[in-house]
Structure 1
Amino acid sequence: MRELTQTEAIDLVGRFEAEQEIPEQMRADVRMLGTLLGRVLRESGSPGLFDDVERLRIATIHAYTDETPEAFARAAAIADSFTVERADEVARAFTAYFHLVNLAEEHQRVRILRERDGRPDKERATDSVAAAFVRLSAEVGDETALAHLQAMRFHPVFTAHPTEARRRAVSSSIRRLAGLLDEHEASRRNGADERRAERRMLEEVDTLWRTAPLRPEKPSPTDEVRAVMAVFDETLYTAVPHVYRRVDDALQGPAAGGRAPVVRPFVRVGSWVGGDRDGNPFVTASVTRKAAKIASEHVLLGLERTTSRVGRNLTLDAATTPPSDALISLWQRLKAADEDAANDIAKRSPDEPHRRILLLIARRIEATRERNADLAYRDPEHLLADLRVVQDSLVQAGAARQAYGHLQQLVWQVETYGFHLTELEVRQHSAVHAKVLAELDAAAPGAARSELAEEVLDVIRTVVFLQERYGPRAAGRYIVSFTRSAEDLANVHRLARYAVGPDGTPPVLDVVPLFETFADLQAAPGILAEIVEHPEFAARLDATDRRLEVMLGYSDSSKDVGPVAANLALYEAQAEIAAWARASRIELTLFHGRGGALGRGGGPANSAILAQPPHSVDGRFKLTEQGEVIFARYGDPAIAMRHIDQVAAAILLASAPSNEERNLAAAERYADVAATMDAASRERFFSLVKAPGFAPWFARVTPMEEIGRLALGSRPARRGLSVESLEDLRAIPWVFAWTQARINLAGWFGLGTALETVGDEALLQRAYGDWPLFRTMIDNVAMSLAKADDRIARHYLELGDREDLAALVRDEMALTRSWVIRVTGGTELLGNKPVLQRAVKMRSPYVDALSLLQLRALRSLREAPEGAPVDPEQQRLLLLSVSGVAAGLQNTG
């Protein structure tokens, strides 16, 4: 097949871009960034690189729009024609392009958010906390709605699960480019400023191109802690109080800022980074202590600087704003403890009592960070008490706007983050606890303990240490993965007694069961009913007003029985656990162990929340946030605020009587549909994964083994077993590998058969409209399938030399695609979600280019003689393409 002429190529690309209906401002950003990258490729790439990139780009667009075997073969032939060195450069070029397109798309989202914020209230988002409050009030009354709002909790937990394929150095370059893109937009009215901004952007794009896209080695757990700290420093520290402020402004109207806020802090940030040791031998008790220390240093430095800044601006004269008696008393106490500094501050602010107090408080926060026992605050509650003295004094003096302005945001920051920043959680496998207890129970008095036993006990001692140093919220949740009996949970309390001894300080532990597999989810209610009778559990329930947290794993259950059966099992487990908790007078928090990809519970969080069973949310929602999801949701302040606002709105509305009644009625109405789908999808899934030789076939037709060599995170990709068994393969490489092969099997396999077995198209369309759980499942599968590609998937599947399994996968993909389109009532996938459809279509041909490069590398590696050394150049090309495809699809694990 001949190559297109230049005129035909220009026309093809123009038509392709026009069909995507990209907003003009975003189109201009993409065009500008692409032009800058092209210039960099000409200046910094090897001779002819730009032309080769263009050849492949045009060929893949042609193959995507033409859909003929000849067009696809032509694109594949171009990819195969490159030398390994040139293929390496081309892969890097397409990956850089995706980073720039993702940036332009993010910038467009921020632009839209800013425009929306500038509109009148009635034109603003209908899925905000303020809008949700109005809707809830209409159902339950203002007083009850306010009680719901003030008791609400959103608890994201950042994890170090290795799903972020790009290096931190690359992420930093992209963030700098984001700032320059803002500057460029602001400079468009001035030609000289615009040219200067473009020059600086060109420099940064050149830096991005020259930065090695692959990490040379795996990050350490401490590196992962610092990566998460960057998100806190750059975004969350200021974004969270801004969310509170926006909600309060919306609810109080003109009175906001002039009286006490009605909003109470509803965000709590958790972290597994440095605490999750399930299958990660590199996370030790020492690492956990370091993680807590780093987090505390970051938040205390932030509080110190904020307090100092608020204090410096609080230049209120005593004549206009007289201090209260309590403020004068506080000054005397602070002065006695820090006399030289107090005298110096008094000289510089002789008649500004509120300013003087805050500047001394800033010094005490600094002393807390530096562990200066003479001045340090014992805990955040004492700091809050001092800040409230200042606040009350301002109110009494008639300066309410100063009391509830920037000072209130500081109060919110202390209430949200304390001195610990993130509530650090420990996780360990139940089998490890059982093994250590068996050793300890059998050991003679004084006998030496194994290294594993000492480490497990030292972790519990570390929890005690962190609680004493940073406060009770700093640590205390102990998650037991693969909880399969009440004994698995009681074992943690037994270990605690060994750890501290009869005279030691017992840790305050909230032992959290993690139910992961299909069988574990079904057994969960019985296990919970048994464990709450255990003495330590019962005592902890009494101490916390009968609060209990239960974690549900989305990943292993999906790998266990397939995505359809897992989703239905998770819903049923939540419903049963919630009913048990209500009957037992327990305040339940369900902790959702969701990943970024759809095979691991990913997808829009707000729609998932609104589809939960009645009373399974009750104003509290906790979930894991990991890898690329952390930076996608929290990397930009405007997007972070929007995400938190949307999720909080869904949490508030989930408990609305109308929402709970709808979910309950739908679950009852479509119970037979659910049962049919469950059985049919599970049977279909087992026909694949339980087929003889499936595990090695899976490893051959995907880059699963190679993904394990990517330096994504500190944790190993598997729990120590080979690909002869999938049982202990972690869910992340399971999902990641199928995504890379453009199959996305973990997100949809079995749904087509399930829908076909139900067979009633009209019934399924009604379910799509009436049943939130079903609608969420269908929408997520539509997105998963839209990112898959049968043409490319076929070539991956051919690598396995198992036509029976390949046909099974391709037939189910076609069946699922057909049924999803019919159920949603459209003519193509995502037809009812045009913005999302545009984003997928815009990227697809460029992802195809990287997939073709990955295929050639994978074929070379698979065709090598058994026992031959791995070709390092082909392996590097494959890993480069993995990073690029992840950037293009914006999903890994």
Structure 2
Amino acid sequence: MDKSQEIEFIFTLICEQLDAVAPQICPLFVALKDGKDTNLDALSAEDISSLIKAFTLYHLLLNIVDERYYLSRIKKGAILETIAELRAQKYDDADIQAVLKKIRFYPVFTAHPTESLRRTFLESYHEMSDDLETWFKLGDKNAKEHLKYRLNLLWNSHIVRSEKIEVLFELDNLLYFMESSILRSGANVLKEVQEALSELGDKEELKKSPIRLGSWIGGDRDGNPYVTNAVMLEVMKRQHETIIHQYLKRIDKLGRELSIAQEFIKPSRALLESLEVEKEHLDTMAKKLFLQEPFRAKLTCMRQKLQNRILALNLPQASLNENKIYMYANSKEFIKDIDMMIESLDKRSSIYLKELKNLALLAGFHLMQLDFRQHRDVFWNALAEIFSHLGYVQGDLLLLPESERTRVLNVALKAPLLDLNTLYGKLSVQTQEMILAFVNFKWAKDRISDNIMDSCIISMCQSANDLLCVLWFAKQSGLWCKGKKTRISISPLFETIGDLELAPRILRELCANPHYAEYLQSHKNYQEIMIGYSDSSKDGGIFASNYSLKQAIKNLILLEDELKIKFRLFHGRGGSVSRGGGALEDALLSSPTNSVAGFLKTTEQGEVISGKYLNPKKAESSFDSALATLLKKSVYDKFGMEIKQGMDFESILQKISAESYKTYRKLVYETEGFIVYFKSATPIYFIQQLNIGSRPSKRKDTQNVEDLRAIPWVFAWTQNRAIIPAWYGLGSGLDAAFRECGDRGVLRRCYQENLFFKTTIDNISQAFLKVDLEIAEHYNAFVEDVNLRKEIWGMIETEYHRTLEWLLYVRNEKYLLESEKLVRESILLRKPFLTRLSFFQLYLMRAYREARYPEQKERIAKQIVTTIVGIAQGIKNTG
């Protein structure tokens, strides 16, 4: 079957399902799909719900078909392909090899609430994807029947969660991704890296994983009151148990398979000596095996040492010290045992032991490295109370000027170590929670793995004192000791455009502080910096955000030489273009010279996780592609080859940024009544009722755009199809640049020759094609103030047409995405169904306003949130 036949097949499947459960609706579903109008008032609430579900399930299946065709077009072995490309560009194998051995890709999976589908639907997606593959390739009727079975179950399930999602539910979802896809795919890519190193002449076994898995679930406390110390500890323990059970499962399988007798394969001396030492821990049966089947015996020992780690986790430290429990101290010991067996076996017999080793290199005993994130104000509130209690200040620390705060912090950091236990019972609950967070941080590193936690991220960082504040907590908890290697990365998060501009000044102040300078020395002079894409975009618009981020990164790179430190940049990207989304590979290659240096840490959020990692083949491709691009960019930067940029377009980019910023701010921040318009002309009220994340949808109840979270901000504009965060201001920016230089052709040349500009324009173009102003205009009817409605709609409509005209000119196209036919086709294919879902949403929002009593409103609201999920599936984007 070709793609059009597959799409017709899934449409037929939905029709068959409708025929079985709601036959009266099927003809209407077909008519609506063909663009015919219908009188929604003539339909019952049940019929409307059935149609919404039919369109949503169709989009779910369409996403699977799209994914299949994406996977059919990509080639395996991106790393080897990149090596061949670098060789063709005359780079030496030794240089490529040196870079490849050091690159690190660090995806950090967050619980940001942008995954609109329930886990039930995600698991079904997995199975239905397999069923469609089997049916389309082999015509297997069992696969088709199982597909119908799954579709029927989903039909009879709620699309939207009825209960508020909890942090541990978020963890369960992520662990499902880990166990069903990510671990296997990541380990496979490690095998490819090993093969690539061998191709380059390096015969050594891989000692470190180029992929590090990270997570914010259970560690991200910024604005989430449900992430407590108890939850954080539970998350870390579950991660530990999950990966240990993965190892146990594989060891049990290997134990059944490796029945190799000693007389046929001679074990190494190291293996025999280790068994001699460990045989006392074997039971009678295993001791008999020891004489005949040493590999099974060794696996039995390994199993016991892993099992004991779980059992010992809850024992007090004193008990562990007294009773020398037979267990692994760390994952290095586990890997050493695996290596011992690999060395004693031939290449073929050791295949699955090598897989186990790759998994252990990837996940250790921690599975994912947890980041701890909290708002600067929370750190300061705790410190102010502690310093007042200890007598460092008389009065309120927070009322002191910055210079005086610095003096007090220096005195406190110079003072002898404090026993934190002496503070318990003498401080507020909130401050004791903060102290305990750092105590737990250290406990987890001591008892689970040193890799279980690392970064402590300070949200809305505004001064050098913010980091000194956290340094005090790190010192008292033993995470930082002078003269020893630090066990914590203190990371400022610069989120707004203003914060990004302040970053160099803050870092200069930090490096001049003697205490922080000592901390940096103990951290090998590395400073992690997190850069936020979401708030900078909400702050200044899409183009100004991208340009400001690029400039901030360039300035930081220049600062490295001055301060004699290395920055490790952590990119806080979201799923949508307006929150830093788009192809990671394009973003990497267009980033400033030397901004990567072999290291890429980036957030993977919400629907991006399912989009990139739910399907194991897609996950493998995502890892493979990220490492290949990271290798290419790092080789280019390290050995002085810059990607061709052509003439200097900096003044043009600067002008576009400044004018687009001004235009965006005029609409969003300077138009009186804009927040009223936003709340009326988008379904933000209903989005806030969606149970798609444990975190509240806003920081505080306010009438200010600044206090709205970036995710629901983008989500709401995506739902009403105006999607202004992804494009607004660009047209005016391009217009201003043209007026200044007087030559339209310069902007087209800038697109052809400047990779940053091209990547930004391409990302905006893809989002722009999803805009539907005809639909968006209907939402204006909900704005009661006629003058406000006309004023804002006029601004949006004018900027839309201006932006469209410039996108077509700059990209040299007759119609948008003319040069990207597959992407265009995929977007436009969904339009008829999205249009119908939008009209359902509009109809129901009107009905909600006209409803006479609470029970009626509640029923309609439930229908509205199902349209939100359906539209999110169709656009393949939420926030």
TM-score of the superposed pair, with normalisation by structure 2: 0.89
- Which has the higher mean CA deviation after the structures are superposed, 546-555 or 259-268? 259-268
Separation in 2, partners of 1:160, 1:181: 29
Is residue 383 from structure 1 mapped to residue 334 from structure 2 by the alignment?
A: yes
Which of 815, 831, 846 in structure 2 is aligned with 1:828?
Answer: 815
Contact 1:170 1:211 in 2 (8 A): no
- Which has the higher mean CA deviation after the structures are superposed, 847-856 or 375-384? 375-384
Contact 2:207 2:361 in 1 (8 A): no
Deviation per residue, 1:260-297 (Å, 9 max, x gap): 44685200010001110100000001111111111111
Contact 2:56 2:870 in 1 (8 A): yes
Contact 1:521 1:573 in 2 (8 A): yes
Deviation per residue, 1:696-747 (Å, 9 max, x gap): 111111111211111110000000122x111110000110001001111111
**Equivalent residue number for residue 17 of structure 2:** 40
Q: Shift of residue 231 of structure 1? A: 0.4
Is residue 886 from structure 1 mapped to residue 865 from structure 2 by the alignment?
A: no
Is residue 202 from structure 1 mapped to residue 202 from structure 2 by the alignment?
A: no
Which of 696, 718, 722 in structure 1 is aligned with 2:676?
Answer: 696
Query: 1:494 corresponds to which letter in structure 2?
Result: W
SS of the equivalent of 1:154 reads: strand
Q: Write the mapping of 1:380-529 to structure 2, written as runs, cut at 5 A.
A: 380-394=331-345, 399-403=346-350, 405-443=351-389, 448-497=426-475, 508-529=487-508
Q: Write the mapping of 1:88-103 to structure 2, written as runs, cut at 5 A.
A: 88-103=49-64
**Equivalent residue number for residue 856 of structure 1:** 843
**Equivalent residue number for residue 416 of structure 2:** none
Query: 1:177 corresponds to which letter in structure 2?
Result: M
**Equivalent residue number for residue 57 of structure 1:** 33
Deviation per residue, 1:648-683 (Å, 9 max, x gap): 111111123389978687497011111110111011
SS of the equivalent of 2:385 reads: helix
Is residue 669 from structure 1 mapped to residue 645 from structure 2 by the alignment?
A: no
Which of 840, 862, 865 in structure 2 is aligned with 1:876?
Answer: 862
Which of 98, 121, 134 in structure 2 is aligned with 1:183?
Answer: 134
Separation in 1, partners of 2:277, 2:878: 55
- Which has the higher mean CA deviation after the structures are superposed, 243-252 or 704-713? 243-252
**Equivalent residue number for residue 361 of structure 1:** 302
Separation in 2, partners of 1:247, 1:272: 27
Separation in 2, partners of 1:249, 1:664: 27
Deviation per residue, 1:234-269 (Å, 9 max, x gap): 01111111112234335646999xx64468520001
Separation in 2, partners of 1:389, 1:582: 44
**Equivalent residue number for residue 796 of structure 1:** 779
Separation in 2, partners of 1:469, 1:170: 36
**Equivalent residue number for residue 190 of structure 2:** 244
Contact 1:458 1:499 in 2 (8 A): no
SS of the equivalent of 2:569 reads: strand
Is residue 620 from structure 1 mapped to residue 561 from structure 2 by the alignment?
A: no
**Equivalent residue number for residue 785 of structure 1:** 768
**Equivalent residue number for residue 692 of structure 2:** 712
SS of the equivalent of 1:717 reads: coil
SS of the equivalent of 1:532 reads: helix
**Equivalent residue number for residue 316 of structure 2:** none
Contact 1:594 1:624 in 2 (8 A): yes
Q: Shift of residue 498 of structure 1? A: 5.7
Deviation per residue, 1:197-247 (Å, 9 max, x gap): 222221111011111001001110011011100000001111111112234
Q: Write the mapping of 1:639-650 to structure 2, written as runs, cut at 5 A.
A: 639-650=618-629
CA spacing shift, 1:533–1:393, aligned 2, 3 Å: farther
Query: 1:308 corresponds to which letter in structure 2?
Result: D
Is residue 85 from structure 1 mapped to residue 46 from structure 2 by the alignment?
A: yes
Separation in 2, partners of 1:618, 1:506: 22
SS of the equivalent of 1:656 reads: helix
Separation in 2, partners of 1:681, 1:484: 25
**Equivalent residue number for residue 133 of structure 1:** 83
Contact 1:312 1:359 in 2 (8 A): no
SS of the equivalent of 1:623 reads: strand
Q: Shift of residue 818 of structure 1? A: 1.5
Separation in 2, partners of 1:626, 1:732: 10
Deviation per residue, 1:70-92 (Å, 9 max, x gap): xxxxx3x5445533332222111
SS of the equivalent of 2:530 reads: strand
Q: State the Cα RMSD in Å.
A: 2.6
CA spacing shift, 1:196–1:609, aligned 2, 3 Å: same
CA spacing shift, 1:544–1:713, aligned 2, 3 Å: same
Aligned length: 826
Contact 1:510 1:540 in 2 (8 A): no
Query: 1:876 corresponds to which letter in structure 2?
Result: K
**Equivalent residue number for residue 215 of structure 1:** 161
SS of the equivalent of 2:707 reads: coil
**Equivalent residue number for residue 225 of structure 2:** 281
Unaligned runs of 5+ in 1: 1-23, 61-74, 118-124, 189-193
Deviation per residue, 1:577-600 (Å, 9 max, x gap): 122124433332211000001110
Contact 2:379 2:469 in 1 (8 A): yes
Which of 8, 21, 26 in structure 1 is aligned with 2:3?
Answer: 26
CA spacing shift, 1:78–1:108, aligned 2, 3 Å: farther
Q: Shift of residue 101 of structure 1? A: 1.0
- Which has the higher mean CA deviation after the structures are superposed, 882-891 or 796-805? 796-805
Contact 1:304 1:363 in 2 (8 A): no
Q: Shift of residue 344 of structure 1? A: 1.8
CA spacing shift, 1:545–1:580, aligned 2, 3 Å: same
Separation in 1, partners of 2:250, 2:298: 14
CA spacing shift, 1:502–1:564, aligned 2, 3 Å: closer
Separation in 2, partners of 1:255, 1:499: 45
Separation in 1, partners of 2:457, 2:623: 25
Separation in 2, partners of 1:725, 1:213: 32
Separation in 1, partners of 2:519, 2:449: 17
SS of the equivalent of 1:370 reads: helix
Unaligned runs of 5+ in 2: 314-319, 392-422
SS of the equivalent of 1:718 reads: coil
Separation in 2, partners of 1:135, 1:158: 31
- Which has the higher mean CA deviation after the structures are superposed, 155-164 or 138-147? 138-147
SS of the equivalent of 2:830 reads: helix
Q: Shift of residue 182 of structure 1? A: 3.3
SS of the equivalent of 1:595 reads: coil
Deviation per residue, 1:477-528 (Å, 9 max, x gap): 1000000001111111223456679999998321111000011000111112
Deviation per residue, 1:120-146 (Å, 9 max, x gap): xxxxx7xx1112223334443111110
CA spacing shift, 1:444–1:150, aligned 2, 3 Å: closer
Which of 216, 230, 234 in structure 2 is aligned with 1:290?
Answer: 234
TM-score of the superposed pair, with normalisation by structure 1: 0.88
SS of the equivalent of 1:471 reads: coil
Separation in 2, partners of 1:617, 1:242: 24
Separation in 2, partners of 1:588, 1:878: 46
- Which has the higher mean CA deviation after the structures are superposed, 270-279 or 260-269? 260-269
Query: 2:468 corresponds to which letter in structure 1?
Result: A
